[in-house]
Amino acid sequence: MRIRSQKIFKSGKIAGAASDVFETEPSLKREHPLLNCPNMIVLPIWVKHPRT
């Protein structure tokens, strides 16, 4: 599912979401509206950076 703005959360259609995959990698810019959405959990990609 693509979530491009926090409007879908405010509308009540989705109560919350979590993601570790984004269109722009390695991560979203700090200004991205989803990072300020209280019911969105943003996780880093750990699989790409294994411990050695």
Q: Is the pLDDT of residue 4 over 60?
A: yes
The rounded distance, in Å, linking the Cα atoms of 8 and 26 is 24
Cα separation of the two ends of the chain: 33
User: For position 7, what pLDDT does the model report?
Assistant: 79
The rounded distance, in Å, linking the Cα atoms of 10 and 16 is 10
What value does the mean pLDDT take over residues 35-46?
77
Instruction: List the domain boundaries for the chain.
Output: 1-52
Q: pTM for the full model?
A: 0.54
Beta-carbon count within 10 A of 13 CB: 8
Q: What is the pLDDT of residues 11-40, one digit of tens each?
A: 878 888 888 777 766 566 777 777 778 888
What value does the mean pLDDT take over residues 36-46?
77
Which residue is it, tokens 């990072």?
Answer: 35
